[in-house]
Each structure stands twice: as C-alpha cells, then as structure tokens.
Amino acid sequence: MLTDFLQLTVAGLSQGSVYALLAVGLIAVYTVRHVINIAQGEFAMLAGLGSAWLAAAGMPLLLAILVAILSVTLVAIAMERLIIARVKKLTPLTSIILTLGVSTLLQAIMLLAWGPEAKGVPLFPGTNILIGGVSIRSQEFWMIGALVVVGGGIVLFYEKSRWGKALRACAEQPVAARIVGISPVTASVLAFAIAGFVGGVAGVVASPIYLSLWSGGVLLGLKGFVAAVLGGFVSFRAAIVGALLLGVIEAYVAGYVSSGLRDGAAFLILILVLVVRPQGLVLKPTAVRV
Amino acid sequence: MKKSRLRFIAPIAVITALVLAGCSTSNLGGTAKDDPAAEAGPIKIGAVLDVTGVGASLGVPEQNTLTMLAKQLNDDGGIDGRDVELTIIDNQSTEDGAAKATSKLIESDKVDIIIGASRTGPSLAMRPIAEAAKIPMISVAANVAIVEGSKWVFKTAQNDVVVLERILDDAEAKGYTKLALVRDASGFGEGVAEYITDLGAERGITLVMTEAFEPSATDFTPQMTNVRGSDSDAVIIWGINPSAGLAQKAYVQLSVNKPVYHSHGISNQAFFDAAGDAANGVIAPMGRLLVADQLAADNTQREVIEQFQADYNAAYGEQPSGFAGHAFDAWHIAVNAIEAAGTDADALRGELESAQWTGISGVFQMTAKNHSGLDATALILAEAEDGRWNLLKD
Amino acid sequence: MTHATTPTLAGTRSLRTRFWANNKSTLIGCGVLVALMIVVPFTASSSVMNIVVFAMIFALPAIGLNLLMGLAGQVSLGQAAFFAIGAYTHAILLTKLDLPGPVAATVGVLAAMLVALLVGLPLMRLRGHYLALATLGLGFIVMIGVREWDVTGRTTGIYGISRPTVLGIPIDNSGFFLWFVTPFVVIGLILALNLTHSRAGRALSAVNDSELAAESLGVNTYALRLKVFVLSAGFAGLGGVFYAYQVAIVSPATAEFHLSVSILLMVVIGGLGSVWGAVAGAFLVQFLGEGMRDVIPAIFPGATGEVQLLGYGIVLILVILLLPGGLHQAATTLWQKLPFAGKRPPGDAHAHVPEDDTTIPQLPAVSTPVAAGEPILVLEGLSKRYGGVVAVNDVNLTVPAGSILGLIGPNGAGKTTCFNMISGALTPSEGTVTFLDQVISGRKPHVAAAHGLTRTFQNLQVFTSTDVVGNVYMGRYRKGSAGVLRGMLGLQSGEQSTHRAASYEILQSMKLSDAADDSASDLSFGKQRIMEVCRALAAEPALLLLDEPMAGLSGAEREVMAELLRRLRTAGLTIVLVEHDVAQVMSLADHVAVLDDGVLIAYGDPESVRNDPAVVVAYLGTDLDEAEAELNELEEHA
C-alpha cells in the first residue's frame, strides 16, 4: 500500500512539475500585462509536437528539443508584438478573447501541420529505476529536473537580477520599472518570451510519456492556471508549490477514487479556492478604485 | 406609414409566390424527384466513420477500404448496371457527430443503407435514428449492444462476448483464477466487466478489480499502480489504439509483472507504434487478417484475406488492419444483399438477415436473431513479438 | 443595426405600455427574420438547411452569452456547460421518465438556470479573468460529470430521443423543425432586446462604463450580474433542449470547450452588446464552420477534424484588433454612409423644453428626510491606512442637514479618501460613517445610495456608452423599480418615460438640454462635470457629495453651478463639497472643514476658518506660491 502511495506521489510530482512550469509562464505574463494567457498550454503542445516531428525527421534529439523551445519562444514574442501590443486598451474581456483566439489558432495550426493523433518525443536518455517497488521512470527525473533548473532559474532571475526586479516592479508601478531602466515594451516582450520558453520546456519534457496532442493545451494551461491561483497569482514559489500539490492530489484522486474524476478534482479545487478566498486572489487590493 | 406596410407585404408576397411555385419540399419531408424507392438511378450507400479523433486509427483504414471497394465496384459496372454512390461522413469520433451524420445521410442524401460507425458509442447513437427511419445499418464496431434486439441494425466486428470467451478459455487453461481489467471508459469498454464476471463464473475465474481510462488518455500511472498492487494473476487491457498501446507501455514501465491480454481492438500497426517494445508478449484474440501468412493452406478465409491485402497494399502502400477488414465485410454483405434484393428497405433488411459471407473477420451467418453472424471460430489467439503477431492457436 | 434605430426616447413617444415588441425596428427585424425562416425550407438545399437549423439553435446560447458579455461585461468560457445541462436534463426526462416534451424542456431550462444560480452566487463576486477561467473550469466539470455518471449515460450519452409532436404533427424533418424553433428564437430575441433597453439593461451597461459611478447611484452590481448570468444560462439551456431534439442524442461533446469557443465567437463577431449581432453571428459562424470544413482540406490536402478552428482563431483575433464592435459596428458604419440614411430623429423631447436663458429653470426635486439643522451625516474616528501610510487620521465631523459643507485642504490631504469612505467606495480602517442614523461605512456604495446619498467624482466617471440624457437617466435608477423580468417583458415604458422627462428637466436646470442627445463622451470636460452633477441630482438625494464640481468649468458655468447649489440648499438639500477653488467654497459654504495630512485641522464658518492660523500654515507649508496665491484670492474675495 505504501508502495502504491509513493508511486502515485512520484507520478503526481512529475506531472506537477509540468503544471508548475506553465504556472510560472502564466504569472510572468500576468504580472506585467495583466493578461491571463489562455494560449500558455498551446506553447507546451507546440514545442512537444514540433520536437517530436523534428526528431522523427532525423534531427538529433537534443537539437530538436532546443530548436522547438526556441521556436516556441519566438512564437510567444510574435504573439506579443503582432497581437497583444496592438490593442491600446487591454481590458480583461479583450485580453481573454485575444488569447483565446491565439490558442484556437495555434491548435488549428498544429492540427493541420501534424494531424489529429497524439505524438511523443523519444524518451530522453536515462534508465528507469526501481526503489522498494516504486518504479521511477527516467523521464520523470527529467521533468522534475526541468522544474528545478528552469523554474528555479526564473525565480532567481526575478529575485536577484536587475531586470527581474524591474519586471516585478512593472506589476505594481510601470513608472518604477522605467526608473530601473526597462521600458514597458521590453518588459512585455520579455514576459512573453519567458512564458514561451517555460511553456516550451514543459512541453518537451512531458511529451515522451504524456504525449503531445493538438487539442491538449487548453486543459494543460488551465491546470497551470489552477496552480497559479493556488499560489495567489503573484508568487512564483507559491505557485510552484501549488502546482506540485495539484499534481499529487490529482494522482491520488485518480489512484484512489476514479481516474475519470482526475481532472474534475483540479477544477473543484479551483472553484473552491475562488469561492473561499476570492478577495485573496486579486493581485492588487481594491485600494485605488477612484 | 405606407412604406413600412410595404415592407411587411413584400416578404409575404415572396413567400406566397414561392409556395405557389411549388419549390422543392425535400426539407419538409416531401419526396424529392430522385427519391422514389424505385429501382433506378444510383444506389446510395452512406458511411459514418471515426475518421478523426480518438477513433482515427480505426476510421481511417475503414474509409480507405470503402473508398477502394466503391471504386472497384463502379469500375466493374456497379450493381445491375446502377452506379454506387458512396458518401462517407466523419463523425470526429463523437456520438453527436455520428447522430448528425446519420440524420444527414437519411434526410438529405436519402441513402439506401448505412455503414458505420467505427466505435461502439457512435454506433449506439446512430441506431435509434436508423431504426426510426427504417434504413438498414451495418456497424463495424464491437459491442453486442449495438445489435441486440434491433430489427434494422447489423454488425461485422466480432462480438466482445466471443472475444472474452476466447481470452477466458486461455486464462483457464493457464490456471489464472483472478483477473484485473483495465478498460476503455467509452462505449467499447462498457459491459465488459459484467461479461467477465458472468463468463468467468463457470470457469472459476473472478474479476478482482476494474480500472478505466478515457480513449484520449495519455497517462496511465494511477491505473497501473493499482493493478500492480492487486492480487490478480493476469490482466486484461481492453481498449483501442493509441490508448491501449500507451496503457501497455505504462504497464511495462511500471513493472507490473503479470501476463497481459488485450482485446481485438488493438489489431493494427498503431498498437506497435504506441507500445513499442512493451508490446512483446501481449496475447490478444483477433481475426485472421494479421496472421494470414501463418494460416493453414486450406483455411477458407485465406484466399479472400490475401486478395484484400494485395488490393489494399496496391492502393495505399501499407497492410490493412483488422478494422479495414470489418469495413470490407460490411461493404460486401451490403452489396451482396442489394444485388439480391434491390434497394427496397424492407426487402434489403430481410436479405441481410439471411446473409452468408466468408470474409476477413470470419465466416458470417446472419439470422433474424443473430445480427452479428460470427462465433468464436472467427477468432484466433496471437502473441506480439517484435512488431508482428504470431499465431498461437487457431 | 440596433444603434441607429434605437428610439432615443421610448417613453416620450407614447405613454402606452407596450407588450413584446417595443419599437418599430424590432418589429421589422423580427418580421424579416420570421419571413426568411418561413421561406428557407422551400428554397434551401439540404446542407444550407442544416446550417440554418443549427444557427437558429445556437442563436439562443449566443443571445444569452451576449447579454452576459455585452451587457454585464462578464466573460464566460463555459456557456456550453449550461447548453449541456439543458440538453441532458431534457433528454433524460424524455427518455427515462417519459415526461411530456414541454415539461421536460421547461425543467431543462430551469435546471440550467439553477446550476447557474448556485455557481453564480460565489463566482459573480469574481471579476474579469477569474470569472472567465472559473467558467472554463465549470465547463470541464460538467463534461467530466456527465461522462462519469450512469444517469447521463457516461461517454455515450443519452440517445434515442424522439422528435416532438406539435398539434398532432410530428416534427420529423428539418423544415418543420426550423418552424418549430423559430418562434422561440424570436421570443428570446425580443426579450433580450427589451432587456437591453430596460432599466436593468441600462444599469448594466452603466456598470460596464463605470462600476463605481453605477454603484454610487444605487446599482447593486452583484445582484444584477447574477441575474443576467442566470438568464444567460437559461438561454443556453433552451438551446440545449432544441439541440437534443434535433440531433436525437446528447453526448459529453455538448459540454466541449470548443463549443463554448464557437458560441463566444458568435457573440464577438456579432458585436458585444448587440442582440441582433448575436443572431447574425450564429449564422455567420455556422456558415464559416461549414465553409472551412470544405475549403481547408482543399488547401491543405489530408487535413481532417476540426479544421474550422483555424478560421475561428483568425476571426477572433482580427475582429478584436480591427473591428471590436463586430458586425454591429460594421452595419452601423455602413448605414451612416448610405445617402438616404437619415440622422437620428431629432429628439422630440427637447422640443417641449423651450430654451430660454431668462427663465429661471425649475429646481430638481430633493429629499429632506430630516429637518434643517439636524445632523444628517456623522463621521466618528474615521481613519484610513495603507500599510504604514495614514491617509486619513481620526476625523470627527457632523454635518447638519440643509447646509453646505466645504471640505478643503492641500493636495493629498485625504479629501477624496474621506469621500470614498463616506460613499462606500472604500472601507475605513477605523471609525464609522453614520448617515441618517444608519452606519453605512464598510458597505457597498449602492447601500449608501439606497439611503439617499449620492456623489460625483474628481476623476470623471462618465457612462460613455450612452448619451447625456442617458447618463442623467441613470441617476433616476433608484427611483425606478422595474427589474430584469419586467424589463424583458417590456412592461416599464410608463416608468421609463416619467424618468426620462425628469432627466430632461434636470438637464435644463443646468442649461445642458442642448446637448441632451449627444454622446456623453463627446462633451467637453466641463460639460461632463456638469452632467455628473445633474446625474447625481437626478437621484433626488438627501445628501450630495461633490468632488471638485467646479474644476474645468468656465466662469459662467461656475456661476450657474453655484447658483443651483445655493437654491438646492435652500430647498433643504445637504451638500458636502471638496473644492480647489477656495474662493468658491468660502462664498458657498455654510461651514468649512480643513484637512491637512489626513488630520482635520479646522472646522467652522468660512470667516473663522479663513483666519485660522493652522489653515494658513497648512497652505503655506505645502507650496509657498500656491498658498500665497490662494491667500490673495481670499483677500480679494473678502
């Protein structure tokens, strides 16, 4: 029984790492632009399908992955430059419709380019290990590792570097960011680039075992959102903890209750959190209302 | 005021004119010119298949097969000099899509017979519509619920009960008494647990646990963790590809060291694509198509299978799957019946109830009571090894 | 479409209460729609017929979502969830309980509304993004729920739904079905149109323009939004009922995210806030989807599946970037360019308002709940802190009824913060605000408004989506009573016309009737400020809070304003005003209170305050030149 519990925990943590990377991308964009990027999950799928395609075409795995992640980062920047930046007054309503439009467009492009079937990147090098009956797949190390390296790197960037601090300041006070030496345009592009990058990383590390599917991004992105909400939508650290928690809870629900209810659990958590602490979720207190 | 009154009168005048002019009333259930059940004009065969979505690995080869056969038939002069018009609609692997497509085939295309759908759920959704319109329908899906008690619906895939009997016989012979089931959560997997419990009782086999997965699932860790923790002797994974193949992969990765059976839902290349090396050692009952080269020379199905493989390979450059075989059988049963009875729905239905056909999936003997027409002899047991199936038991 | 023909003044045309169709354009529009729907089955090919039927079915959820997004400004990404709930409930009641169609359909719609109410109660407190994503989550929950529940037939769903029979005629073909569904769409359309023109509808669009201003005029935003959310779910549920009938099966696909996206697309294409746009959008999206399914495989060989999403995505982006008003905007622009398109009919209303500078305008009504001199507003220990910063510190003040209190102080002294705490826009950190013996601090602005307290804003809060009289009309919100239901049934014309007339009178009192029918956003800054005062007065308040009413006004306008305020005071109205123009305050106010750094440093009649050394220091202390200038000004006035 303990073996099962640990097995589910491992599965939950590795799945949670993927959610965490997506949550980091969502928060990066939200803090700067106050946009919740519905296309965040599509970044992951795009990178997964892209690198699977490149790898299948004979490109070395490492190169395929790097090319895919960089391309997705460029897609995210293009999204910011060509679409988001063109709207003068970005209300929640327009930003949702716009990012939804991008999400839908990316899905359609993936469907047209790579067809309706799920595809997987080849497994990364490594060997599965069995500790006390708990089987840990090598890919799960890669997923958790990606979170530690990339997620941790982003957190350090935000907390230690000058630009990172400026990005954080953007959320509170655009003028303050300018003083630190970063223009709102640069900040916005940088935020989207980060979102594309972490989305891409999440997509490629998850693809070998969870596969990438043209329509899979919405659900994945939404899980990232649930994690971000659990973290109060301001703190990377809290969101990462929230994401890991979400992954583990999902795994327990699937293992001990019913696998069909797995996704239901995530959204039930979302709605519960929103109901119980709605005021705690607003980024800025409603102080400056007039 | 005068002007605005005109605005009201104008459309009314247009409507009246149109009605009086006696436009087509085909949208109103009236009979269109080319509709009469008269035995003239092209014969219309409709098909509703899971060409995209989770059932795509089934629907695509089925679509290929029907398209190929329709072309062959028309090249050979059609049926009694009448051309055959085949309309295939993709239901996107959804029940809604299947129902809409069926209504469209019946109401707009006025088809004489319907083939499809590829999977159980969409087939179940089509059934009441075909029955209400009194149009014969031949499903290419497995679950026996599709045809049970129906007057108008037939099917060509081997019944799930027969498949399970084959698996349970083998399990009994090997001395397994406790089985675990990991099944598709959609229509294909419904009722399977109950059948195993019923059929297992007489063989001293009990079902100790059931897990389910969505056809669109990609992560099977929780299910396989539970299976690993159970005290079962062997496991049945019951699904279609790619999910069944992925489940098999997770099964091996999570070191569930128990013998595993699959259903006939995996009899295509997609299984090996999804499962990779993890497929080795899997035992599954299936039709004879995939092991045709290993059949006895005098096997009655051998000739038709080899001809089909050659034709399909020539047309599409790949080997047909078992699902292509279901479509092949459905097409021939339909065409044979039309040749014998014409396109009158009642006559056609009567003819289908006595259909006999030596096909890809077995030797069919339809009766008024049995709209599936296949028994356990239609299946063989095969074991997967390095991307191909080895005949275990004929 | 609707904009160009919306009657600017439903009430002044006729006081007769009109049921259903409220105006000619609606009547014509519905007439054309009905006529088209009668003709289509005779002329359309079967595939076009199919598109038309589904367009009409989806027009219902689209109208509902349009009310929610256009009117209430809330994005729902889970409209398909309610569609599915309606469809499933209907299907289950029909197939498993053998209930008659009308009963099953009604329960289906009610079920969708009930679920909306239950989830709306908590969710409607959320704003913007959170609501959108919560509804997206709800959509997934419903889909998972129906997929996992035996009653809903799990993944296969409910099948074998028999077609309805109306008056003994079985609706067993698309033509009959279209005729069956059309009356419901038309009725739904009229109800929705009525709602947009109603008191509740106007309040909602006011909330969209400025939630703060609307709430301070007595609009309970939360309750209204919740009602519209429930209503919107009802429309979706009804669409689901028809869908179940037409498709004869209800499967988890009805709760799919992509269905919610396509409904959203219908609304966006049609134009947010335009009911006709939603219907047009439904047709366009159905045709677009069908067209894309034919065109895309021709361009990209081998493309299969939901390729229409390519078009959906592109259209969503392009509409928002290039034509944010959707088809409605395009149609309106086109209409105005047509040579024969008349301008809006001149408001026959201001024909009966003779514009004459010499006449003394009638004074707007005020309410005088307490006798002059009695305390009407009491502030006790009022404080507001932001982190370590104290914006307002322990202010105690009593305002007697029927007087004008001037609140002055240097920039950043906490005047507006004080105002916000009084009106309910801010919750005090400490202390209470008592208005007419009721503690109103910490409550929502609409609570204060309900007690008779109205305010204007330093940073103008104009309802930009309506005209000037529409703004003032919103001030009458609290005076009306028609709710969402009455609004939908069009049973409030009488009430509306009374308030319309009152609004014109108030505009006249501030000499603004000339601009009554102009768009509020076109007004000059000063005129907008006057309009806001008119709007506040329209509420017939007992206490009026004016935040810098003179800023941006011309000299003449200041005089009119000052004169009006004096007369209002005479009539018994209590006024508290924050003003930079110290001279004006001194000449107007009965009492003056001076705030500095959040502390009340002086209070008394203008004369004593003017000579209060603390005040002089306060002004001197902030900015020498400014203080000197102001002191000089004071001297001059004296």
Q: Work out the pLDDT band at A106, boundaries 50, 70, 90.
A: very high
Put simply, the answer to whether C268 touches A107 (Cβ < 8 Å) is: no
Q: Are the C-beta atoms of C309 and A107 separated by less than 8 Å?
A: yes
Mean of the per-residue pLDDT values for chain B? 86
- Residue B316 belongs to a domain: yes
Is any Cβ of chain C less than 8 angstroms from the Cβ of B25? yes
User: Is any Cβ of chain A less than 8 angstroms from the Cβ of C343?
Assistant: no
In a domain, B347, yes or no: yes
Q: Are residues B54 and B150 in the same domain?
A: yes
Whether A131 and chain B come into contact, CB under 8 Å, resolves to no
pLDDT score of C12 more than 70: no
Q: Is the CB of residue B230 less than 8 Å from the CB of residue B180?
A: yes
Contact pairs from chain A to chain C, CB under 8 Å: 155
Diameter over CA atoms, chain C: 92
Q: pLDDT tens, B359-379?
A: 899 999 999 888 988 888 888
pLDDT in tens, B75-127: 988 888 888 999 999 888 888 889 989 988 988 888 999 998 899 989 999 99
Report yes or no: C416 at the A interface, CB cutoff 8 Å: yes
The CA-based angle C246-C250-C252, given to 5 degrees, is: 140
CATH number of the domain encompassing residue B146: 3.40.50.2300
DSSP notation for C530-572: HHHHHHHHHT--SEEEEESTTTT--HHHHHHHHHHHHHHHHTT
- For residue C312, give how far its alpha carbon lies from the nearest alpha carbon of chain A (Å): 7
Measured distance CA(B54)–CA(B245) in Å, rounded: 13
Query: Is the residue at A168 inside a domain?
Result: yes
Q: Does the distance separating the beta carbons of C305 and B52 come in below 8 Å?
A: yes
Residue with tokens 């109401």: B107
- Tally the domains of chain A: 1
Check whether residue B173 and residue B274 sit in a common domain.
yes
Chain B residues in contact with C147 (beta carbon < 8 A): 185, 214
Instruction: Evaluate whether residue B14 is within a structural domain.
Output: no
pLDDT score for B138: 95
Percent of chain A with pLDDT over 70: 91
Report CA C207 to chain centroid distance, whole Å: 4
Measured CA to CA, the distance from residue A142 to residue C232 in angstroms comes to 46
Domain presence at residue A290:
no
pLDDT at C15 over 50: no
pLDDT of residue C390 exceeding 90: no
Contact C148 A260 (CB under 8 A): yes
B68-72 long-range contacts (CB < 8 A, ≥24 apart) are B68/B311, B68/B312, B68/B315, B68/B316, B69/B328, B69/B331, B69/B332, B70/B45, B70/B331, B72/B311
| pLDDT tens profile C214-263 | 888 888 888 888 999 999 999 999 999 999 998 888 988 888 888 998 99
Neighbour tally for B38: CB within 10 Å: 10
Tokens of B175: 């001395």
Q: Do B128 and C159 touch (CB under 8 A)?
A: yes
Q: Determine whether the interchain pair A7/B242 forms a contact, defined as Cβ–Cβ distance below 8 Å.
A: no
The answer to whether residue A289 sits within a structural domain is no
* Min distance B62 CA to chain A CA atoms (Å): 17
**Co-location of B172 and B138 in the same domain:** no
Asked if B151 and B176 sit in the same domain, the reply is no
Domain range holding A136? 2-281
Q: Which SS3 state, helix, strand or coil, does residue C177 take?
A: helix
More confident residue, A180 or C117: C117
Answer yes or no: do B65 and B152 share one domain: yes
Quick check: A110 contacting C, CB < 8 Å? no
- Percent of chain C whose pLDDT exceeds 70: 89
Can you give the pLDDT at residue C7? 36
Mean pLDDT of B234-243: 91
Closest-CA residue in chain A for B229? A4
In a domain, A60, yes or no: yes
Query: Is B120 near chain C, with CB under 8 Å?
Result: yes
Most confident stretch, A109-123, A196-210, C507-521: A196-210
* Cβ separation C162–B132 shorter than 8 A: yes
Q: CB-based contact (8 Å) between A132 and chain B?
A: no
- With a cut of 90, say whether residue A13 has pLDDT above it: yes
Asked, for residue A145, whether it belongs to a domain, the answer is yes
Domains of chain C, start order: 25-257 (no CATH), 375-461+541-637 (3.40.50.300)
Whether C253 sits inside 8 A of B96 (CB atoms) is yes
One domain for residues B262 and B330: no
Q: Chains with ≥3 Cβ pairs under 8 A against B?
A: A, C
The Cα of A259 is separated from the nearest Cα of chain C by a number of Å equal to 10
Residue B27 and residue C162: Cβ atoms within 8 Å? no
Residue B381 counted as domain residue: no
Query: How many CB atoms neighbour CB A252 within 10 A?
Result: 18
| Residue C148 forms contact with A (CB below 8 Å) | yes
End of a domain among B251, B286, B321?
B286
Q: Cα C538–C447–C441 angle (5° rounding)?
A: 120
Q: State yes or no: pLDDT of A153 exceeds 80.
A: yes
Is pLDDT at A256 greater than 70 in this prediction?
yes
Test C24 with B103 for CB contact under 8 angstroms: no
Chain C touched by A112 (CB under 8 Å)? yes
| Number of domains present in the structure of chain B | 2
The confidence score (pLDDT) of residue A258 equals 84
Q: Is residue A33 part of a domain?
A: yes
CA distance C73 to chain B (A): 32
pLDDT of residue C416: 84
Note whether A262 contacts B: Cβ–Cβ < 8 A: yes
Q: Is residue B33 part of a domain?
A: no
Per the structure, the complete domain to which residue B224 belongs is given by: 161-286
Which subunits have 3 or more CB–CB pairs within 8 Å of chain C?
A: A, B
Please report whether residue A210 resides in a domain: yes
Q: In this structure, are B253 and B311 located in the same domain?
A: no
pLDDT at A185 over 50: yes
Which CATH number goes with the domain that contains A118? 1.10.3470
Which of B259, B286, B313 is where one domain is finished? B286
